[in-house]
Amino acid sequence: MAEVFGTFAGALSVAALFNNCVDCFEYIQLGRHFALDFERCLLKLDIIKIRLGRWGQAVAINDNLCFATDSPDGVAARQVQAILEEIVLLFQTVQKSSKRYKIGAEQENLACLEDKDMPPVLRRLHSRLGAVARQRQKQTSLFKKAAWALYDAKNFDKLVKEITGLVESLEKLHPVETTRRRLAEMEIEVVDDEPSLLALQDVAAGTDSVLSEAVAQKIEGIAVRNYAKDIKNTESARVLVGNEWAESVLARCTTISERTENTADSVAAKGASRVQIGNRYGGRGFFDDQGVTEVKRDTKLS
């Protein structure tokens, strides 16, 4: 990365600099210390990348002549250039910190996680978000960059927080809010299953408000209603209000269109009884003794 953003950075147009910034996300790997939060961290990087790309598409950065030079005349274009250069420096600083870590670290601590380490649902979502980002780049990077790894949460948080702030600065320079909202809605057109939407909404909160709102609106439009007016349970009885999807089912499906309604006026569960108001799609469920599936975020457990 240093050879790209050091000697040659001054020769890049604003548009080329932008494309390189977006492209840099592709070369970040996460070390094994991120194992407990790997999926969330990787998706957060995806979301920042598509947010940056969304702004670039909204202002037509690859077609606007004011961004076609490395010495723009307009004040706003020069400010955009300065912000993109800050993003470059941030990537470079965090990369150098990771390089220092590698010098004294044990070899076993340098292993990196891969896409295959993600659950199928989130791996598919990661792939979709990556495709969105690539479609928005008019050209690939002018220089091939080597992959590099982040090894600790402190550097990750620094990267996420500061790049998010810089992207917000770009959005304030050229708001184009209506266009950005429309593009965000287009980004999730192919995301139809509720587990993916809920995961996306969770990660986007605090990182990309436009995307988070678009996802929330789409979730509201899913015609699934699981409802119980009055639930009473005693002893070890348990009641689940909500649907469940086994990973084996989600791995085979590209989309899941829910159009169901399950309701109950009152439920009285006693002893060791188990009651579910909702649907189960494949595999073992929440109440199975031999395996417990994740409780979906839209469920209510009493």
Structural contact between residues 149 and 30, judged by C-beta atoms closer than 8 angstroms: yes
Terminal Cα-to-Cα distance of the chain (whole angstroms): 52
Domains, the chain, ordered by start? 2-177 (1.20.120.1020), 225-301 (no CATH)
pLDDT of residue 181: 94
What are 53-66's pLDDT values in tens digits?
999 999 999 999 99
pLDDT of residue 227: 59
Minimal CA–CA distance to 8: which of 101, 88, 106, 109?
Answer: 88
Lowest mean pLDDT among 2-11, 69-78, 225-234: 2-11
Query: φ and ψ at 31, to 5 degrees?
Result: -70, 170
pTM: 0.72
pLDDT of residue 234: 77
The residue ranking higher by pLDDT, 85 or 232, is: 85
pLDDT of residue 292: 36
What are 88-138's pLDDT values in tens digits?
999 999 999 999 999 988 888 899 999 999 999 899 999 999 888 888 776
What does the DSSP 8-state code read for residue 174? S
Instruction: Give me the half-sphere count of Cα atoms (radius 13 Å) on the Cβ side of residue 205.
Output: 7
Query: φ and ψ at 259, to 5 degrees?
Result: -140, 60
